[in-house]
């Protein structure tokens, strides 16, 4: 069907470019988008230059990739918004998608940026996209040439390479105005890059920040015993999508307190080890979701805090995975949700077993008996929950009997202790540092008084039953259920 051509609707360049400055990039995400381009250009050495420069902050990124030239119009095309079609077939290792990255990432931070580049067959060339310059011309979409002093010596740097590119933010209007804030974003960039590009760094790409090499930091701890791979599979509905499930080491077995370490590490990452539970999505080995989270397939909670799932998908599936322009968000497609949810449920159960440190089966046996020292009390009138000491626990009753303490007196004491349980403080500490309770040690052995009371309970039960049944009865209550071997030896059971 043929249609009659109507009016041209070419957008005003300043209006469009200014709008693109508000796409939601953080500084670390913007820098990562530039690194994507460097890796796509086959760079093996990438340097981030971030200088305070006496209150005039400066940013540049250099690489030794294949560069761009003028002969095939590659450099000029790279400045165009949407310089590549996201629907086009692309190299399997291409980290780009929309053809927006260099422009939107740079303009999100700076009103002007320079691209300085050379190939192994063409000389050094540079161009600048300058919003103030375009506005002053009022003549459509125009780049400008650069001056020597604007290049800050990076022309000499790139000239010394066989090929390469430098990007300079020469009007960084969104730079921090305070030195402390500048130092803070420097650290954020280092940490973010170390995680998002950890697979490339682990392989053969070197990334530097102010001449300091950035070391890889995987969201899956790779120190000895740091994480156990539980499962590895492909989606039945899409074999190109790979899933791996891991359970990280229990805090009790950490060689040091990673949660409170001053150094960024694979356990705590950005939000603390518990809040980093969840799914980590990779596209062409580039991590898109460094903050984890379950993306709607599971509810975050204590039982899944040791669980980590990685999902790898190729760039030819971008449309299905709804990758956005900033390449920082991907969503699990509806057609994969049920399969991925079933996969994550399995690793959640595995995490829960490790959290309970082997005592889960024991706890399940005593859950419906009077063997617990603390009992849940639900008040349906106020829809509240609190914990009270179990007055019917054999240990407590035997202790009161042996010490000739009246029931009313021991009950009053237990009520007082129950009422004073610092529930709010427990919750507050858990919010601040969930691992503090996981690292808490328990007594390895029962003390003399606990053993004495155990013997009394055992003998009383044995008087009306058998030895085996009496011992099983003792094993049905806290704390004795956790000390089976010690009690067998002590009671000759």
- Span 371-404, pLDDT tens digits: 888 888 888 888 888 889 999 898 899 999 999 9
Looking at the structure, tell me whether residues 109 and 170 fall in a common domain: yes
Looking at the structure, tell me whether residues 251 and 139 fall in a common domain: no
Q: Which of 181, 213, 245 is the last residue of a domain?
A: 213
Q: How far apart are CA 208 and CA 213, in angstroms?
A: 4
Count: domains in the chain = 3
In a domain? residue 222: no
Token pair belonging to 78: 């790279």
Question: Residue 166 in contact with residue 62, Cβ under 8 Å?
Answer: yes
Write out the residue range of the structural domain in which residue 351 sits. Answer: 227-355
Q: What is the pLDDT of residue 93?
A: 54
* Nearest residue to 473 (alpha-carbon basis) of 489, 492, 454: 454
In a domain? residue 7: no
Looking at the structure, tell me whether residues 317 and 384 fall in a common domain: no
In a domain? residue 114: yes
Q: Which of 213, 242, 259 is the last residue of a domain?
A: 213
Distance of CA 318 to the CA centre of its chain: 21
In a domain? residue 4: no
In a domain? residue 5: no
Question: Residue 267 in contact with residue 259, Cβ under 8 Å?
Answer: yes
Q: How far apart are CA 254 and CA 267, in angstroms?
A: 10
Q: What is the pLDDT of residue 97?
A: 41
* Residue 162: strand, helix, or coil: coil
Pairing of strands 307-313, 278-283: parallel
Q: How far apart are CA 406 and CA 389, in angstroms?
A: 17
Looking at the structure, tell me whether residues 236 and 303 fall in a common domain: yes
Q: Which of 178, 213, 248 is the last residue of a domain?
A: 213
Distance of CA 284 to the CA centre of its chain: 18
Looking at the structure, tell me whether residues 459 and 479 fall in a common domain: yes
Looking at the structure, tell me whether residues 320 and 397 fall in a common domain: no
Is the bond leading into 479 cis (omega within 30 degrees of zero)? yes
Q: What is the pLDDT of residue 314?
A: 87
**CB-based burial label for 439 (10 Å; 0-12, 13-18, 19+):** middle
Q: How far apart are CA 238 and CA 460, in angstroms?
A: 63
Looking at the structure, tell me whether residues 172 and 52 fall in a common domain: yes
Looking at the structure, tell me whether residues 156 and 31 fall in a common domain: yes
Looking at the structure, tell me whether residues 348 and 375 fall in a common domain: no
- Residues (pLDDT < 50) of the chain are 83, 85, 87, 96-99, 358, 360-361
Looking at the structure, tell me whether residues 99 and 208 fall in a common domain: yes
Looking at the structure, tell me whether residues 43 and 136 fall in a common domain: yes
Print the SS3 string covering 35-94. HHHHHHCCCCEEEEEEECCCCCCEEEEEECCCCCCCCCCHHHHHCCCCCCCCCCCCCCCC
Pairing of strands 206-209, 45-51: parallel
Looking at the structure, tell me whether residues 270 and 409 fall in a common domain: no
- Span 316-357, pLDDT tens digits: 777 777 666 666 666 788 889 999 999 999 999 999 888 775
């Amino acid at each position: 069907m043929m249609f009659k051509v109507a009016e041209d609707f070419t957008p005003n360049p300043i209006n469009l470019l200014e709008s693109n400055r508000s796409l939601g990039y953080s500084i670390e995400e913007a820098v990562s988008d530039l690194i994507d381009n460097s890796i796509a250009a086959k760079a093996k050495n990438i340097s981030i230059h971030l200088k305070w420069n006496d209150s005039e902050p400066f940013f540049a990124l250099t690489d030794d990739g294949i560069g761009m030239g003028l002969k095939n119009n590659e450099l000029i095309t790279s400045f165009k918004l949407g310089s590549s079609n996201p629907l086009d077939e692309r190299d399997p290792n291409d980290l780009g998608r929309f053809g927006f990255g260099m422009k939107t990432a740079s303009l999100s931070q700076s009103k002007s940026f320079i691209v300085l580049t050379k190939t192994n067959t063409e000389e050094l060339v540079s161009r600048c996209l300058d919003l103030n310059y375009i506005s002053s011309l009022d003549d459509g979409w125009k780049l400008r040439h650069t001056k020597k002093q604007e290049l800050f010596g990076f022309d000499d740097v790139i000239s010394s390479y066989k090929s390469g590119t430098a990007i300079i933010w020469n009007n960084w209007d969104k730079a921090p105005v305070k030195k402390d804030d500048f130092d803070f974003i420097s650290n954020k960039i280092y940490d973010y890059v170390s995680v998002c590009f950890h697979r490339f760094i682990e392989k053969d790409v070197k990334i530097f920040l102010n001449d300091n090499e950035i070391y890889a930091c995987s969201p899956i701890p790779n120190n000895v015993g740091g994480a156990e791979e539980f499962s590895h599979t492909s989606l039945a509905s899409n074999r190109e999508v790979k899933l791996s499930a891991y359970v990280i080491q229990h805090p009790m077995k950490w060689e040091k307190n990673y949660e409170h370490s001053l150094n960024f590490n694979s356990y705590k990452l950005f939000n603390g080890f518990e809040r980093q539970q969840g799914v980590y999505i990779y596209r062409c080995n580039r991590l898109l979701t460094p903050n984890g989270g379950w993306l709607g397939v599971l509810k975050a909670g204590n039982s899944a805090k040791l669980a980590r799932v990685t999902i790898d998908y190729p760039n030819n599936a971008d449309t299905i995975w709804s990758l956005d322009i900033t390449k920082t968000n991907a969503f699990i497609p509806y057609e994969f949700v049920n399969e991925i949810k079933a996969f994550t449920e399995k690793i959640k159960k595995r995490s829960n077993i490790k959290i309970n440190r082997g005592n889960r089966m024991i706890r399940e046996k005593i859950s419906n008996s009077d063997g617990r020292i603390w009992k849940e009390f639900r008040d349906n009138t106020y829809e509240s929950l609190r914990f009270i000491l179990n007055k019917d626990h054999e240990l407590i009753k035997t202790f009161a009997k042996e010490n000739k303490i009246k029931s009313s007196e021991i009950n009053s004491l237990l009520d007082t202790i129950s009422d004073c349980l610092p529930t709010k403080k427990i919750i507050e500490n858990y919010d601040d540092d969930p691992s503090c309770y996981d690292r808490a040690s328990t007594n390895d052995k029962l003390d003399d008084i606990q053993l004495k009371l155990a013997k009394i309970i055992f003998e009383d039960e044995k008087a009306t039953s058998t030895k085996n049944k009496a011992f099983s009865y003792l094993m049905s209550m806290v704390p004795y259920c956790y000390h089976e071997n010690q009690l067998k030896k002590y009671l000759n059971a």
